[in-house]
A = this chain, B = another copy of it.
Amino acid sequence: MSYRIFATCDIGQEALDRLRQRSWQLEVYGEIEPPPKALVLEKLRSGIDALITTLRDPIDAEVFATGSSAGLKIVAQDAVGFDNIDRAAANEHKIPFSNTAEVLTDATAEFAFFMMGAVARKLWPSEQAVREGTWSTWHPYHPWLGDEVTGKTLAVIGMGRIGKSLINKAIGFDMDILCHDPGYESHSFVAAIRWLMEVRHGERLASRKQSIEFASLEDCLRKADFVSLHVNLTRPGESEEPTYHLMDERRLRMMKPTAYLLNTSRGAVVDEAALAKALHEGWIAGAALDVFETEPLPATSPLRDERLKLKIRLFNHFASAARATRLSPDPNVGMAGRCVQAVIDVLEERYEGDPRKMPFVVNKEAF
């Protein structure tokens, strides 16, 4: 059986070759910017079987309605998030859509860790001093110092895969861990980390016995030197404890004046206006952000204020942007591989053709 697939983006040639090898007809929109919606609708009307999408494509009710009437069998999103996909419309038309969760766990957790180092140890101003020629003589504290990461207390808010991976990575830095998750407390994971901490201390690989404890959000904020956010974004009405503006003025004021905030989750979890105020007024020492309420970060954002340059690091939603994580054709390694596998699962009717059994389908409730 030959199928026709339209990809709104080149998600990675090696992964896409897995579709071509099946003698399926694959058309890839090769531009950096997303295709106009009219083109996507035209492809749908022409009867494509699968649509490969990214975060930049609005996959709304019209897309699903058009696809449904022309035989569309799957929307495969090359991302974990799917804010751009109208889930209700997908369900109404019983069209499965997939995402690429899990494969970017390590890439995102390590990026959060490196963001922590970058903001605390002042890597950006340090390189700027070299490049702009303001590096003069050696001096104990001029023009500024960074703050140590080793031996500090890290609070992880949200104990999903990425939160746990971050904790795992932080152990070698003699850090104490506070963890908070309003939903699920993984006591077996914490027990394993605690055992590892005991071994490190027993083997003299740590100068003192480290600790890991569950704590309330307030205790995490009050006690930690670094607070890293790993929650889903839920807006008021979507959850009993919505995470929209979780870090608002009240909670930012709970943090220590020497503490740093890290966000690799979703931009709107942080109230950016409150954060800018917190940095200007010294409620906290600094912040590193990979996600923003509006992306790309607007030119008018208060976070860009020149006076905050020493205190804030800004990245371009880049935490998963590592080579194997993005491009590997292996569905256990790369987003592209996982995206393509979802297409194969549906078109080859794997898992008895039951979307509920397919590992990468998101809207299982529709079937």
Contact = CB atoms under 8 A, between A and B. Distances in A.
Interface of A: 9-12, 32-34, 54-56, 78-79, 106-107, 109-111, 113-115, 117-118, 121-124, 126-127, 129-131, 133, 135-142, 145-151, 168-174, 192-193, 195-196, 199-200, 203-205, 295-297, 299, 304, 313-318, 321-327, 335-336
B107 A150 contact: yes
Copies in the complex: 2
Contacts of A142: 32
Given A171-B172, A172-B170, A192-B205, A121 B114 contact: yes
Contact of A114 (B123, B135, B141): B123
Nearest to A105: B150
Contact of A323 (B9, B34, B126, B148): B148
Given A117-B114, A124-B127, A192-B204, A140 B336 contact: yes
A156 to B, nearest CB: 13
Nearest to A206: B168
20 contacts: A9-B140, A34-B137, A55-B138, A114-B117, A114-B118, A117-B118, A118-B118, A123-B123, A123-B124, A127-B313, A130-B297, A135-B296, A140-B326, A140-B336, A145-B326, A146-B318, A147-B323, A171-B172, A172-B173, A193-B205
B205 A168 contact: yes
Given A56-B138, A316-B135, A111 B118 contact: no
A219 to B, nearest CB: 24
B131 A304 contact: yes
